[in-house]
Amino acid sequence: MSAVSIQQLCIIGVGLIGGSLARALRQAGVVGEIVGCGRDEAHLQRACELKVIDRYSLDIAEAVRQADMVVVAVPMEAMATVFQALKGNLSANAVITDVGSVKGSAVKAVERVFGAIPVNYVPGHPIAGTEKNGVEASFAELYQGRRVILTPTQTTDMAALERVRQMWQACGAEVLEMPVQHHDEVLAATSHLPHMLAYALVDTLARMDDSQEIFTYAAGGFRDFTRIASSNPQMWHDICLANQAALLDVMRRFSDDLQLLIEAVEAGDSEFLRDTFTRAKQARDAFTAQE
């Protein structure tokens, strides 16, 4: 892999994901100037103090004007607004990518704004993160050994795709490619559904009469399972609505299986319970063995 050279990186949305990308690229020595952009000036000033970015602008058009790599790291609901502000203000050699969790929604937003999907747009999604938010939670090693999925469209320029691939590889990530629709189906099952379940479980327990006692005696397993319920509620609200069809499909499938489990417990069906738990353990063990 030849080293990527980004003369000026513009990150729109300098939070955990965007901030960690900036830190990783700076640590790798493959980026020149890093410009941050967002709506919260105090947040951007803090990013400068932490040396995550070199300077910032509250105006997207000004922030991206000389950038040769633009990374959109905002909530799904804000993407169309950001793309609209980008339109007509990019340099001739600029590559645009994003980090959105729902690629179909991001691609549709781009297409609506530009009329067609620009050849220099490379949809992407780093499969990395924590339950913490904000630039202060960012760290350079977030992407080390993690996967980044790129979902190029039929019109994506191969040179732009390669630049984005090299950018993520410089962060220590394994870069894969996947069709847009397949990405959204896979992530609905492996990421979006688990977040829905964690939020629902914590909310159910919190509304029980003896909730305080329940949480007092919760052990490590409860903490591990529900950790992601501390994630940003607005971000997951946006993801849930943006990937509605794929998420509903897998939620309904899980609901059907949960109903079978309820019936097995009610009937005292020992064989069904043992088979389900054994099958799940084997699948989980096989998954962790690959890590």
Condensed to tens digits (0 to 9), the pLDDT of residues 222-231 reads 888 889 999 8
Final residue of a structural domain among 150, 178, 206? 178
Residue 89 within any structural domain of the chain: yes
Residues 217 and 151 in one domain: no
Of 71, 74, 37, nearest to 54 by C-alpha is 37
| Residue 220 placed within a domain | yes
Do both 204 and 190 map to the same domain?
yes
Is residue 10's pLDDT more than 70? yes
Residue 190 in domain? yes
In this structure, are 12 and 151 located in the same domain? yes
160 falls within a domain:
yes
pLDDT for the residue 2: 47
Q: Are residues 70 and 158 in the same domain?
A: yes
276 and 169 together in one domain? no
* 154 shares a domain with 279: no
- Closest among 92, 48, 27 to 66, alpha carbons compared: 92
Look up the CATH number of the domain holding residue 151.
3.40.50.720
Q: Which of 25-29, 99-103, 208-212, 227-231 has the lowest mean pLDDT?
A: 208-212
Strand partners of residue 71:
11, 97
Higher pLDDT, 263 or 217: 263
Instruction: Identify the domain containing residue 48 by its residue range.
Output: 6-178
Same domain? 252 vs 206: yes
Instruction: In whole angstroms, give the CA distance from residue 94 to residue 261.
Output: 52
Give the tokens for residue 281: 């353990």
Residue 1 maps to a domain: no
The pTM score is 0.88
pLDDT at position 291 is: 66
Together in a domain, 110 and 188:
no
Specify the pairing of strand 174-177 against strand 31-37: unpaired
**Residue 212, domain CATH:** 1.10.3660.10
Partners of 96 in the β-ladder: 70, 121
Directed axis angle between helix 79-86 and helix 103-114, to 10°? 40
130: pLDDT confidence band, cut at 50, 70 and 90?
confident
What letters, b where the CB count within 10 A reaches 16 and e where it falls short, cover 218-251? eeeeeeeebebbebbeebbebbbebbeebbeebb
> Is residue 208 included in any domain, yes or no?
yes
On the question of pLDDT at 242 being above 60, the answer is yes
Domain termination residue (choose one: 151, 178, 205): 178
Q: How many CB atoms lie within 10 A of CB 54?
A: 17
Mean pLDDT of the 245-264 span: 97
Q: How many CB atoms lie within 10 A of CB 157?
A: 15
Considering its fold, how many domains does the chain have in total? 2
Statement to judge: residues 124 and 191 lie in one domain = no
Is 50 within the bounds of a domain? Answer: yes
pLDDT attached to residue 219: 76
Q: Residues 24, 145: one domain?
A: yes
Q: What is the pLDDT of residue 98?
A: 98
210 band by pLDDT with thresholds 50, 70 and 90 = confident
Domain stops at, among 144, 162, 178: 178
CB 149 within 8 A of CB 101: no
Question: What is the distance of C-alpha 103 from the center of its chain?
Answer: 10
Over residues 147-177, the pLDDT tens digits come to: 999 999 999 999 999 999 999 999 999 999 9
The amino acid sitting at 194 is P
